[in-house]
Amino acid sequence: MIFGRERLPVKTPEQIVLMRRAGLVVGECLELLAGSTRAGMTTGDLDGIAEEFIRGQGGTPSFLGYYGFPATLCVSVNDEVVHGIPGDRVLHDGDLVSIDCGAIVAGWHGDAAITLVVGGDDAADDADLQLSAATRRALWAGIAGLRPGIGIYDIGGVIEDSVRSSARADGRDYGILDGYTGHGIGTEMHMEPTVYNERVRPHGPQVRAGATVAVEPMLTLGSHESHELADEWTVVTNDGARAAHWEHTVAVTDGGLWVLTAVDGGAAELGSVGATYAPID
């Protein structure tokens, strides 16, 4: 049990600069994958591209071997939400694909995820596009909520409010996946604290400069309930509804935020969500 007065682990500016190196490898890898994904490719093809890129940048895939996970990426298609194992599955136009990527550089971790539709917007269901956009909006709302003094668990309420607001605007009832959260990150991928995707009662430790966390809302077009497949990894929705997942690793810096897994560090988006882009030189 973590009480509100517990202090959030923080990194030095030098350590955050090292985390940026890992974050940039992850961000660039996801941009490469977003630009490469085509109908007819397998999810294993995406995994091969990612592993080659990460190793070429001097990094190590952090998911590979994590509790026995057998691949570089998690690739989760349609009703799969997270932790899909890349393999022989062939992608088709209109598939809703979440790609989660993690890398270690010089001992420091980056972790991020994107959702895309194979074949682009023209091949997509409107509902899938709205779901992905709502998830991405919730991610950036959560990121912008990372202000010194707020309780880290309160990010859950910020994300939930964003999801409810998108649901009203879109005329849909999005599910926030139950039992899965964001997390602290640094010398390991998953560290304290938990970063909730919905409102919880305790506020948690106060956000302060030097905090580094992964924010990662996971939404569905239906229920919040899921289960693991027999492979003991792939998480699918119980009702078969499609799902989206967006994630960034973020550092709270003096004066603002640095989105370590965004290729531009968050420069383009932070202002539009009311946050300040404040990289460490």
Question: How far apart are the C-alpha atoms of 48 and 246, rounded to whole Å?
Answer: 21
Residue 51, amino acid: E
Candidate segments 38-46, 100-108, 220-228, 250-258, binder of Mg ion by CB under 5 A? 100-108
Task: Indicate if the alpha-carbon torsion angle 255, 259, 265, 269 is positive or negative.
Answer: negative
Candidate segments 35-43, 111-119, 138-146, 154-162, binder of Mg ion by CB under 5 A? 111-119
With respect to Mg ion, which residue has the nearer C-beta, 77 or 113? 113
Total interface residues for Mg ion by CB under 5 A: 5
Q: How far is the CB of 173 from Mg ion (least distance, A)?
A: 25
Question: How far apart are the C-alpha atoms of 32 and 187, rounded to whole Å?
Answer: 25
Q: Which of residues 197-236 bind Mg ion (CB under 5 A)?
A: 214
Q: How far is the CB of 181 from Mg ion (least distance, A)?
A: 9
Q: Report yes or no: 131 and 219 within 8 Å, Cβ to Cβ.
A: yes
**b/e per residue 91-114 (b: at least 16 CB within 10 A):** beebbbbbbbbbbbbeebbbbbbb
Among 51, 100, 128, 269, binds Mg ion (CB under 5 A): 100
With respect to Mg ion, which residue has the nearer C-beta, 80 or 247? 247
158's enclosing H/E stretch is: helix 155-170
Q: Determine if 73 is a binding residue for Mg ion (CB under 5 A).
A: no
Q: Report yes or no: 219 and 162 within 8 Å, Cβ to Cβ.
A: no
Q: Which of residues 114-173 bind Mg ion (CB under 5 A)?
A: none
Among 45, 95, 111, 154, binds Mg ion (CB under 5 A): 111
Residues forming contacts to Mg ion in the complex (CB under 5 A) are 100, 111, 113, 214, 247
